[in-house]
Structures are given as structure tokens and as C-alpha cells.
Amino acid sequence: MSEVVVLGAGMHPWGKQGRPFAEYGVAAAREALRDAGIAWTDVQFVVGADTIRNGYPGFVAGATYAQALGWSGARIASCYAACASGAQAIDIARTRILAGLCDVALVAGADATPKGFFKPVGGDRPDDPDWLRFRLLGATNPAYFGLYARRRMALYGETAEDFAAVKVKNARAGSLNPMARYRRTVTAEEVLASPMVADPLRLMDICATSDGGAALVLASSAYARRLGARSPVRIAAVSTVTPTFPNTVLELPNFATDSSAAVPPPERPFRSAIAHAAYEEAGVGPEEVSFAEVYDLSTALELDWVEDVGLCPPGEAAKLLRAGDTALGGRVPVNPSGGLASFGEAIPAQAIAQVCELTRQLRGVAGDRQVEGARVGLAANQGLFGHGSAVIAIG
């Protein structure tokens, strides 16, 4: 079976530029094509990760990008899986290449987001849990992040100072990343003095909403060899697993869990199952991971994910943080890109941006944030309604 490799990676700087989302996606796509050393007309398949906030073009993102780049006859697909949309897009392109139906594919995602927190999609939908959690409970995303943080404090004794230390670490990494929206280092005192949003989380504990774009050119290893690409980064696994019943850990946007009265909980909760499936497919274990990009919607959630992807046992993520193990220069850096703390959320681009960082690190071209000797990179996040998202890349 031919392997799938990353020929090119490109991004548009993240921020609040006030431009149409497609401009960010097309800019990222063109950068990925330049990085790959191929022309747009060489692309045989385009997958667009959808955005639901940007009208019909957002719902058919594959066609939107293909038209903006210039109709070429390439086949297209569009997909939406909330924050896992980018991983789903990568999986679709990778699967088509592995099936022998194409040799080279472009994956792109971009978003133009509103100021402030994400709100429910318009209309009255009383059978939609996402609509209901806003209308019945007033539960914004940060309300969930605060609950998760309180859970860590109750179970493991974490403090607000521990959460602030995550932001300090990620802000330092983000200050070295030209694509990041926030490029200023911060102190723990600044984090702890920022306004309270969802107790115990303060404004600087929670990621912003952002505009931004990211793109990848994926290809078969045979195609890469024909181009003369030397040791390209290999996509070793893509995990898009769903939870196993009963799902006893509360997941956004739900406000109740499955009952385990009749059926015992599964061996692995949903989030840890996402990474485990990727490890199994790639044939590596967490002990082989050189660095990880994880889903730091909040500082406390990063600590959850450090444990969920197996970098340490439950309850020990703060120990790694305090020891400097997850910082740049540490044993296993987490979010060397700066994470969502430095970028903010541009939902369809997030998982793709993570793989852009895996690619740069594994190529050894990440500059001042380079992870020394990086060989195996892991990216993990998740989408609403049980969409898993993990990618393992090997250099």
C-alpha cells in the first residue's frame, strides 16, 4: 500500500482581519502549493472543511476554494464536523489517495468568526442539543470549560496558578510563531488579574475566536518520489472515532451523560479513545511522541488532553507542566505552535493548522520553536456530537 505524505503546508496569519473566509483559505492553499512545488492544475482532488457561519460558500467550501483558485475539473468534497472538520477533510483526502483514486489532493479550511463567544445557529430548533443548552441553560462554551476546570481542581487539586502557567507556556511559544494572532509573552500575574469569565477561568485562560486559514497538499509516496521529494513527512494515522456507549463524561454541547446503570463504562473514555485509535493505526505508542498539538480551548483543558493522549497518567499533567516537560525545550513539548491560546478558534482550519505545525517540526524548519530531534508528532482535538480528531505524523 502506498503511504500518504505531506508535500506542502500553508497558512494565512490568524487574527481579525475582517475579510471573507475564502480569502484566508485560498491564501493558505496557494502557500501550500508553493511549498509542494506543484501547480494548482496538478491537483486532482480538493476537500474543503466547511464553516457554518459564512453563508452558502461556507457550506460548500470545497467548491468555493476550487472556484476561487480557478475551475480545473478537479474532483471535490466538502465536510463539516465542527472542530474536527479539518481532520475529517484530511481523512477523506488520505482515503482517496490510499484507494488509488488520485495521487495528489489539496485540503483547505478557513473561517471568519464573530466577535465574542460562538452563539447558536439561528432559528428555533427544540430538538437540537446545541440550541437547547444555550436557550435552557445559558451555557456558552466557556461555561463548559469552567466545569471541566472545576472537575480537575476537585479530582487532582489543581489551582488557578497551574492554569495560568499553561497560558504562560503557550504564549511564549506563540510569540515565536509568525502565523499566531497573539505574539506577546505574558506573566502568570497578568493571567490571574484578567477578568473572570467562567469561574475559575479568566479571560486569558480561554481561547478567542479568530479568522484564519490552513491548507495541506497530500500525495502518495510514489507521486512524491516522482517529484523528487526527499523524506517527506508521512501521515501515519488519522483517527475519527466516536464515543462508545455509555459515554459517562459530559461532552459539549450535551448537558447529561449516558447512564451506566445497566452497561459498564468502556475501558477508555471518548477523548483517550481518539488518541488510542491513532496510536494503534500508526503502530507507535505515546512514549514515542516527540511533541503534541492538543485542543487547548482553555488552559485547564490542555491539562486534560495531556492525559487523554497518554503523555502521563490521569492527574499528573500539572506535574509535567511544573517540571517544564511540556514547554519548549522540555521532554515532550505540548502546543509548540502556541496552541489555540495564541491562535484562537477558526474552526474548520484548526486540525489542518495542527498538521501544518507537525509538518514544520518534523521537517526541522520551525525556527526558534523547533523541537530538537522531532520524529513523531501527534495532533488531537474533537468536534461536537462525537467527532474524534487525531493525526499522527512521522518524519
Q: Convert the pLDDT of each residue in 110-166 to its tens digit.
A: 999 988 888 888 788 999 999 999 998 899 999 999 999 999 999 999 999 999 999
Question: Does residue 61 surpass a pLDDT of 90?
Answer: yes
Residue whose C-alpha cell is 495521487:
103
Q: Is 353 exposed, middle or buried (0-12, 13-18, 19+ CB in 10 A)?
A: buried
Distance CA 365, CA 255 (A): 43
- Residue-level pLDDT at 1: 52
* Sequence ranges of the domains in the chain: 4-116+209-227
Q: 94, 220 in Cβ contact below 8 A?
A: no
Whole-number Å distance between alpha carbons of 331 and 190: 27
Torsional class of 251: left (φ above 0), alpha (ψ -120 to 50), beta (otherwise): beta
Q: Residue range 193-212: average pLDDT?
A: 97
Query: Rounded to whole angstroms, how far apart are CA atoms 204 and 224?
Result: 42
Which whole-number Å values give the CA distances from 146 to 188, 202, 296, 388, in the listed order? 18, 9, 13, 22
φ/ψ (deg, to 5) at 258: -70, 150
Residue 212 exposed, middle or buried by CB count within 10 Å (0-12, 13-18, 19+): buried
Do 129 and 253 contact (CB within 8 A), yes or no? yes
CA dist 177 and 147 (Å) reads 31
Q: What is the CATH number of domain 4-116+209-227?
A: 3.40.47.10
Greatest Cα pair distance in the chain: 58
- The residue ranges of DSSP E strands in 16-119, in sequence order, are 45-49, 75-79, 104-111
pLDDT digits 0-9 by tens, 164-186: 999 999 999 999 999 999 999 99
Q: How many whole angstroms separate alpha carbon 217 and alpha carbon 111? A: 19
Question: Cell 462554551 identifies what position?
Answer: 141
Q: What percent of the chain has pLDDT over 70?
A: 100
- pTM, whole model, 2 decimals? 0.96
Task: Encode pLDDT of 74-120 as tens digits.
Answer: 999 999 999 999 999 999 999 999 999 999 999 999 999 988 888 88
